[in-house]
Each structure stands twice: as C-alpha cells, then as structure tokens.
C-alpha cells in the first residue's frame, strides 16, 4: 500500500517551567500539569512518535524508515542519515523561564554523547505582553569572564535579552547561549538531539524531584560561541501570501513560512526530501493522491518524499514548511 501524509501522536513532556497553553491554545489533550513540551515528530530513542491515522497507525518513525527508506526520507537524505531521522519537531510552552543553556555541534556531541549536535530555530506562536527571550551575548566576554559571572551569578548582565512577539523568528546555532523566558509559546525545529548544557538555572529546585537540576558548565565552556551578532539575533523574513518565504535555511534544515490565503499548489519533484508542515495559525487542508488531510493550529504533518504534488488550502492559515 502506498505512503500517505502522516500525522503522529504527540509525546508530552513534564517540565518544571511548563504551563497550560499546549492545552488551552493548541487544544492538546493533556491531563497533567507543568507540561512544557509537545514532541510532534521524534525518533529520539525512547521517545518515538507513533502514526495516529491510516493503515500505518501505531508505527513509529524508525519502523517507517526501515520499511520505506528513500520513499519516506528521499534518496539524498537516506544516503546521508541512513536509518536515522534527522529532525525533531516540538511545541514549547513556558510559564517560567528556561535555564540559560546552549548545545554542542555534531563533532562534540558525537564524541561525548554519540548523538547529533543541536542546531535549532524558534518561531514564536504567542507571547505574553512582557515576554522576553535570551539569545546570544550583549557584552563582550570570554571563558574567564563568563566563568566568573557564573560564580557570582551575574551572568544575565552579559546576555542579550529582548521582548518577543508572535511571528518572531530566531536561529539558535550550536554554541549560541539562549533561554526562553516566561509566557512564550513557540514551535521549535531542531536536529534530532536531546543534548543540552545548562549553565544557569536561577538556583531553582524542581518540586517533582526535590533537587536542583544538573549544570554542565565545563562542557558548555568548551563549545560556547562568544561572538556578538552586530545586526541582532532576530531573523527578518518576507511574508508574501501563498508563497514559501525563506525563514532559516541551514545545512541541517530548511524552514520556510507560508501565509496561506486561498489555494496553493506545490511541486516537490526536485526537493528529494520529506516535507514537514507545522500549522502555527488557523486551519488548513492538504490534498494529494485523491485524499484530503486537515491541519489545525498546533498540528504537524509529515509528507513522505515520494509524494511530489500537493495542494494546500486555507483562508487565513500560517504554515511552516520544513525540509532537509
């Protein structure tokens, strides 16, 4: 039987900083409190999403790759990554600030964790009026001054903090220090990796464990990028209706923004990659092979590489389009 556009059952993650917007804004069926992350498409070991509809219902991503190989991933992607799915897609909701953290590159992560590195990006879906994020440095620093700021707990004074709002986009390459502040709901696209180096956590105690969370300062200092981006850290992008507008295109993933205001035909014959659609606003419909699939705000869909022609429809929907 032929492959079709795939939806997955989300995996919900307790986080001490988690809120309730995944349920109240994105309509996720959540019965627990402090759920900070919804893993939408994951092949991380132990956290593999299962298909939620169709004859492949219950199959995990690794099982799909084993069975369909290039037809699912694309020839180039399969040659590059083999049986590993290269991306992890999440929604993140922060009622409290995240720890100040950063991620290693591929070489360092492979050496110490047998993992991919973690390049990532954020698309802000909703932000409270006073919501802020931390991305990069605001003041010149080096390993010595950075270590001293951690010791005397003045690190926040070195960092670039800025107000954020719906539609903001930030690229978080490996080594870039960052933290999501309280009151933010965002979509995150990242390499398949769960390696995070915390450097500062406000001396908080996790009520679920009764202990402070582990810090990873030595490894963080090995890989941190102290460069200041003179042009700022927010990504500017066009938003032409019914077009794929480039957001963040890197060697690890390519994300575009589609403001859908009617109907859009897409031809992926030359893409040679699966495509992930993330609905960040409104309601849309994807049609292909004689079938239609609804995609609501807070839902994610994986289009296998073997499907080249689709139609997207929506009156006022915003879609993130992700390939490798």
DSSP, residue by residue, 146-206: HHHHHHTT-GGGGEEEEE--TT-EEEE-TT--EEE-TTEEEEEEEES----EEEE-TT-EE
For position 208, what pLDDT does the model report?
86
Give residue-wise pLDDT tens across range 108-151.
Answer: 999 999 999 999 999 999 999 999 999 999 999 999 999 999 99
For position 207, what pLDDT does the model report?
84
* Token pair in block for residue 191: 């390499």
Region of residue 153 (phi > 0: left; psi between -120 and 50: alpha; otherwise: beta): left
DSSP state string for 65-101: HHHHTHHHH-HHHHHHHTT---EEEEEEEESSPPPEE
**Residue 120 is assigned to a ligand binding site:** yes
For position 1, what pLDDT does the model report?
79
Instruction: Calculate mean pLDDT across residues 201-219.
Output: 92
For position 311, what pLDDT does the model report?
98
Total Cβ atoms within 10 A of residue 272: 16
Distance between CA 51 and CA 302 in Å, rounded?
10
pLDDT tier at 295, thresholds 50, 70, 90: very high
**Residue 241 is assigned to a ligand binding site:** no
**Residue closest to 187 by CA, chosen among 27, 37, 16:** 37
Question: What average pLDDT does the chain have?
Answer: 96
Q: Please give the C-alpha separations between residue 59 and each of 43, 51, 53, 88, 305, in angstroms, as whole numbers.
A: 12, 5, 10, 17, 18
pLDDT at 233 over 90: yes
Give residue-wise pLDDT tens across range 23-81.
Answer: 999 999 998 999 999 999 999 999 999 999 999 999 999 999 999 999 999 999 999 99
Instruction: Calculate mean pLDDT across residues 248-266.
Output: 97
* Domains of the chain and any CATH numbers: 8-223 (2.60.120.10), 245-323 (2.60.120.10)
User: Catalytic annotation on 198?
Assistant: yes
In the chain, % helix, strand, coil (3-state, to 5) comes to 15, 40, 40
pLDDT at 83 over 90: no
pLDDT at 206 over 90: no
Residue of 198, 204, 213, 261 with catalytic role: 198
pTM of the shown model: 0.96
Instruction: Calculate mean pLDDT across residues 206-233.
Output: 93
Instruction: Calculate mean pLDDT across residues 267-272.
Output: 97
């Amino acid at each position: 039987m032929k492959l079709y556009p795939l939806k997955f059952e989300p995996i919900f993650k307790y986080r001490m900083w988690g809120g309730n917007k995944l349920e109240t804004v994105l309509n996720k069926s959540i019965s627990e409190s402090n759920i900070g992350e919804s893993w939408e498409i994951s092949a991380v070991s132990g956290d593999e999403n299962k298909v939620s509809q169709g004859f492949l219902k219950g199959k995990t991503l690794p099982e799909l790759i084993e069975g369909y190989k290039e037809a699912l991933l694309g020839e180039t992607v399969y040659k590059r990554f083999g049986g590993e799915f290269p991306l992890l897609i999440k929604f993140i909701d922060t009622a409290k600030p995240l720890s100040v953290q950063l991620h290693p590159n591929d070489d360092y992560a492979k050496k110490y964790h047998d993992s991919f590195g973690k390049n990532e990006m954020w698309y802000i879906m909703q932000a409270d009026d006073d919501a802020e994020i931390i991305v990069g440095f605001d003041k010149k620093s080096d390993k010595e001054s950075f270590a001293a700021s951690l010791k005397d707990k003045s690190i926040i004074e070195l960092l670039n903090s800025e107000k954020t709002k719906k539609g903001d986009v930030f690229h978080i390459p490996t080594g870039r220090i960052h933290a999501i502040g309280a009151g933010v709901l965002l979509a995150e696209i990242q390499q398949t990796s769960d390696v995070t180096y915390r450097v500062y956590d406000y001396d908080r105690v996790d009520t679920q464990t009764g202990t402070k969370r582990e810090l990873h300062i030595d490894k963080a200092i090995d890989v941190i990028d102290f460069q200041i981006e003179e042009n700022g850290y927010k990504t500017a992008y066009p938003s032409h209706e019914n077009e794929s507008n480039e957001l963040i295109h890197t060697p690890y993933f390519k994300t575009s923004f589609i403001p859908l205001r009617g109907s859009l035909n897409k031809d992926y014959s030359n893409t040679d990659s699966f495509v992930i659609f993330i609905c960040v606003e409104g309601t849309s419909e994807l049609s292909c092979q004689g079938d239609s699939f609804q995609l609501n705000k807070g839902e994610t869909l994986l289009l296998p590489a073997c499907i080249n022609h689709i139609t997207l429809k929506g009156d006022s929907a915003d879609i993130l389009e992700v390939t490798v």
